[in-house]
Structure 1
Amino acid sequence: MIKNTLLPVAEFLQRRNDFIAQMPANSLALISAGKEVTRSNDTEYPFCQSKHFYYLTGFNEPDAILVLIKGDESAKSILFSREKDPLQEIWHGRRVGQVQAIEMYKFDNCFSLDEVDEQLLPLFMGKAAVLICQQEQNQFQQQVLTWLAEIRKAARTGVKAPTTLIDCSGLLDEMRLHKSNAELDIMRQVNVISGAAHQRAMQQTQAGKFEYQIEAELLHEFATNGARHPAYNSIVAGGDNANILHYTDNDEVLNDGDLLLIDAGGELAGYAADITRTFPVNGKFNTEQSTLYQLVLDSQVLAINAIKPGQTLAELNRIVCEFLTQGLYDLGILKGNVNVLLAQRACKKYFIHGLGHWLGLDVHDVGDYHASPQREQLRPFVAGMVMTIEPGIYIPSSDKTVDEKWRGIGVRIEDNILVTATGFENITVNAPKTIADIEALMSQ
């Protein structure tokens, strides 16, 4: 199953060129890499690169700085990174260094981080009227402001600091929202890996095991097939725990007769899968479980089948809310005048989150939804966007307004969907989700 999952260097070079093409003349952009984060004392969490930085570079070392310069008729990309250091590399691992950064990643130049002040500040002075960077409240932003202050102090010598400061996040968000063929190939691969992990979880689940034991099965399948890290903290929620949307304790025993909700996806070459499946611990849905499960599944299929260019999440939400409200009313879970319930989207009492979100380098990926003041997501879909579709019904055991037979049931079903030129492609292809397929797999 493992394939070559590295994006070609030409992809990152093209992204930098596309970004530069949208920069104003006489501008300079600064994008910083991520930093290592201390976990405890002298140990760190696994390093996760800044996604904007990675998107433009493919470079996976901490503390680096990308500089993009656009003049009237020329453009240049410069990297500042950690220098080669044999002693540090013995202790902490190999570094790319400046020479190989140019050769491997196709930067026009590369300097060590120790040379930042010497090499970077002259680029500001009188050569860049516009400074573009990520305007976030972090250490690098403070460093940028310090550099600007130093330049302004030299104004009496004729030096001119940039007069305009632009946040680059919106531009990069927009670029990342539209996936290339190379990106889509990786996202299909990580979906296959993650789907196999959900299959493994179903087959290994049985009453008496702990939730974290099933989580371990997921992580094993991810890593065995090249997705060494999960894209996010896995949710393995048995029984009433499924009604805690971001449950990640994963430390309780699985009980016979309960459902198990798993929300988990691997990360491959930086790209996330985000799949949710809900299934019975003992391998067989009871009547109430199968009734609610089928209602959620039917609503998901309705939404997915409606996806095409020009469609919106707002319209998909309308379709799903109408369907779930009617279904919950028919089951007696919602009570009252059905027309009033439909107008009020009464299902939101039990369908308490959004229908979906963008997916890519981040599991909740960047990109404007064009939300209205009423929080309707009105952005029309175009080919190349990838999103999740994840309806759910959550009836906590504490809800005394419904018949006891429904209490403690939580169901969510989530697939990853690509918008194509003519409709959609469901890239979640091997995670069983019909009742028949789930029960057949778990009976093996």
Structure 2
Amino acid sequence: MDQFQRRREQFVTRMGDAVAIFPSAPELVRSNDTGISYRQNSDFYYLTGFDEPQSVLILAPGHPEVRSALFVREADKDKERWSGRRAGVEGAKARTGVDATYPISELADRLNGFLDTAAQLYYPFGVDCELDERMLQRMRTYRTTRARSGAGPVGVLDPATILHEMRLFKSAADVAGMRRAVEISGEGHLAAMRYARPGMHEYEVEAIVEYVFARNGAQSPAYPTIVTSGKNLSIIHYDTNRDPIPNGSLVLVDAGAEVDYYCGDITRTWPISGKFSAEQRELYEIVLAANVKAIELCLPGRTFNQDVSDAAQRVLVEGLIGVGLLAGSADQHLEQETHKRFTIHRIGHWLGADTHDVGSYRDAKGWRPLEPGMVVTIEPGLYIPDEADVPERFRGLSVRIEDDVLITAGDPDVLSASVPKSSHAIEEEIARGRATSQALIA
């Protein structure tokens, strides 16, 4: 049994007397009749390993013959000449190991045969609008017929309550996949440090990063690559990447590779000149200290958005006081949240098949504790506005440092540790790149 079959069995075991239906991601249009490269819905892929559009998975443990079914596009030689190969009905069955596969054109006729077998329906509204409407119509019909027939679900439940908790905890295979994605992400960051030069534009650094991702086998960036410099540094999710990099500016690169539906997410901030100025280094060391402190606390039993994040925020606030950007006590600023002018966001997020991965951060008891198998990002930052009441030497400076961390039964496992982050190690990496005449593309 492969990992996708195991996941389906785990889901079925948890859902009880129900049927679950999962649509694939829709195909998206970029403009007119030009499409966007297809990317499967993460939940659908997690359960099937199948990356074709116009597909629907049904899990029906109460069905007398077919406990798992996949509806897919039929093979079509003419269409495949234009848009690529299709698995077809037989190929999809061999690839996924489901009990049965059918043409997607038969879904409407076969749907009731699965729905009739269960008391509840698990269905994720919002993925496929056309199928959403069809499911609503079916449920309206069951509302009026179930009293007499006794067949069909009485309600609709969100499969995320089960599936997203499963995805939150990474298996050994998941961890191996994530290591690979983060490793390739790190190679992109190293290349940016080595090959970026004064006088470049932000998009040239973006091109370096994404070239290295592709050369190492990534299917795509995990999210739009962020390369900020100069006046753009304080924009958290700036991904326009069009401006020339000002001489002496910091460059903030937030980029990750996606490899086989696993995402990396790393941020490094470094000087285009190759050397941090005194002011840049002061801010950088504050953020680095917060990053290191937060990672130290990524331990089982600690709460991510309380213990870990609050500790990092305290380090940032104390650092801001130390350099004169804040006055007064750390406790006062943390209580009144006045520091958020400079810190803006909390410490990070779950990481997995999606960059901002799924799984709840809280339950009825409050912030949930970290557990082995979770993967988190640790990304403290400082963003100093270019405003008159800010000491002039810090105006417009911003720093963020982000690592990907696996929670284990022991010490935290920093998956992105290969990418230097001390200020001296970064300067050495930049110098090493500029000391060689070797071209990036050989």
Output the TM-score relative to the length of structure 2. 0.93
Pairing partner for 2:406 from 408, 411, 418: 418
- Residue 404 of structure 1 aligns with which residue? 392
The one-letter code sitting in structure 1 at the alignment partner of 2:421 is K
Pairing partner for 2:124 from 134, 142, 145: 134
Find the residue that maps to 1:237 and give its secondary structure: strand
Find the residue that maps to 2:339 and give its secondary structure: helix
Distance change >3 Å, CA 120–CA 294, structure 1 → 2: same
Pairing partner for 1:389 from 378, 384, 391: 378
Pairing partner for 2:199 from 208, 217, 229: 208
- Residue 421 of structure 2 aligns with which residue? 433
Pairing partner for 1:379 from 361, 364, 368: 368
Pairing partner for 2:235 from 241, 244, 250: 244
The one-letter code sitting in structure 2 at the alignment partner of 1:255 is P
- Residue 188 of structure 1 aligns with which residue? 179
Structural mapping, 1:213-292, within 5 Å: 213-292=204-283
Alignment of 1:328 onto 2:317:
no
> Please, what is the CA RMSD of the aligned residues?
2.0
**Offset at 1:135?**
3.0
Pairing partner for 2:105 from 100, 111, 114: 114
**Offset at 1:152?**
5.6
Provide the rounded CA distance (Å) in 2 between the counterparts of 1:17 and 1:74. 16
Task: Name whichever of 401-410 and 339-348 sits farther off.
Answer: 339-348
> Given that residues 67 and 79 in structure 1 are in contact (C-alpha distance below 8 angstroms), is that contact kept between their aligned partners in structure 2?
yes
The one-letter code sitting in structure 2 at the alignment partner of 1:243 is S
Provide the rounded CA distance (Å) in 2 between the counterparts of 1:34 and 1:72. 26
Distance change >3 Å, CA 278–CA 372, structure 1 → 2: farther
> Given that residues 22 and 56 in structure 2 are in contact (C-alpha distance below 8 angstroms), is that contact kept between their aligned partners in structure 1?
yes
> Given that residues 206 and 254 in structure 1 are in contact (C-alpha distance below 8 angstroms), is that contact kept between their aligned partners in structure 2?
no
The one-letter code sitting in structure 2 at the alignment partner of 1:354 is R
Find the residue that maps to 2:15 and give its secondary structure: coil
> Given that residues 23 and 70 in structure 1 are in contact (C-alpha distance below 8 angstroms), is that contact kept between their aligned partners in structure 2?
no
Provide the rounded CA distance (Å) in 2 between the counterparts of 1:75 and 1:123. 9
Provide the rounded CA distance (Å) in 1 between the counterparts of 2:224 and 2:262. 15
Find the residue that maps to 1:267 and give its secondary structure: strand
Structural mapping, 1:87-166, within 5 Å: 87-125=78-116, 127-136=117-126, 138-150=129-141, 158=149, 160-166=151-157
Find the residue that maps to 1:411 and give its secondary structure: strand
Distance change >3 Å, CA 378–CA 73, structure 1 → 2: farther
Ranges in structure 2 where 5+ consecutive residues have no aligned partner? 433-442
**Offset at 1:316?**
1.1
Alignment of 1:81 onto 2:61:
no
> Given that residues 275 and 415 in structure 1 are in contact (C-alpha distance below 8 angstroms), is that contact kept between their aligned partners in structure 2?
yes
Ranges in structure 1 where 5+ consecutive residues have no aligned partner? 1-8
**Offset at 1:205?**
1.5
**Offset at 1:230?**
0.2
The one-letter code sitting in structure 2 at the alignment partner of 1:351 is T
The one-letter code sitting in structure 2 at the alignment partner of 1:222 is F
Find the residue that maps to 1:200 and give its secondary structure: helix
Find the residue that maps to 1:387 and give its secondary structure: strand
Find the residue that maps to 1:350 and give its secondary structure: helix
Provide the rounded CA distance (Å) in 2 between the counterparts of 1:252 and 1:319. 35
**Offset at 1:344?**
3.1
Provide the rounded CA distance (Å) in 2 between the counterparts of 1:46 and 1:17. 31
Distance change >3 Å, CA 150–CA 210, structure 1 → 2: same
Task: Name whichever of 343-352 and 81-90 sits farther off.
Answer: 343-352
Provide the rounded CA distance (Å) in 2 between the counterparts of 1:86 and 1:159. 44
**Offset at 1:165?**
1.6
**Offset at 1:371?**
6.8
Aligned-residue identity in percent? 38
The one-letter code sitting in structure 2 at the alignment partner of 1:432 is P
Task: Name whichever of 153-162 and 295-304 sits farther off.
Answer: 153-162
Pairing partner for 2:299 from 308, 320, 330: 308
Provide the rounded CA distance (Å) in 2 between the counterparts of 1:221 and 1:188. 16
Provide the rounded CA distance (Å) in 2 between the counterparts of 1:223 and 1:339. 47
> Given that residues 31 and 134 in structure 1 are in contact (C-alpha distance below 8 angstroms), is that contact kept between their aligned partners in structure 2?
yes
The one-letter code sitting in structure 2 at the alignment partner of 1:17 is E
> Given that residues 223 and 255 in structure 2 are in contact (C-alpha distance below 8 angstroms), is that contact kept between their aligned partners in structure 1?
yes
Provide the rounded CA distance (Å) in 2 between the counterparts of 1:108 and 1:297. 52
* Aligned residue pairs, count: 430
Find the residue that maps to 1:22 and give its secondary structure: helix
**Offset at 1:122?**
2.2
The one-letter code sitting in structure 2 at the alignment partner of 1:11 is Q
Distance change >3 Å, CA 156–CA 322, structure 1 → 2: closer
- Residue 188 of structure 2 aligns with which residue? 197
> Given that residues 219 and 230 in structure 1 are in contact (C-alpha distance below 8 angstroms), is that contact kept between their aligned partners in structure 2?
yes
Output the TM-score relative to the length of structure 1. 0.93
> Given that residues 239 and 410 in structure 1 are in contact (C-alpha distance below 8 angstroms), is that contact kept between their aligned partners in structure 2?
no
- Residue 342 of structure 2 aligns with which residue? 350
Provide the rounded CA distance (Å) in 2 between the counterparts of 1:116 and 1:339. 60
**Offset at 1:348?**
2.0
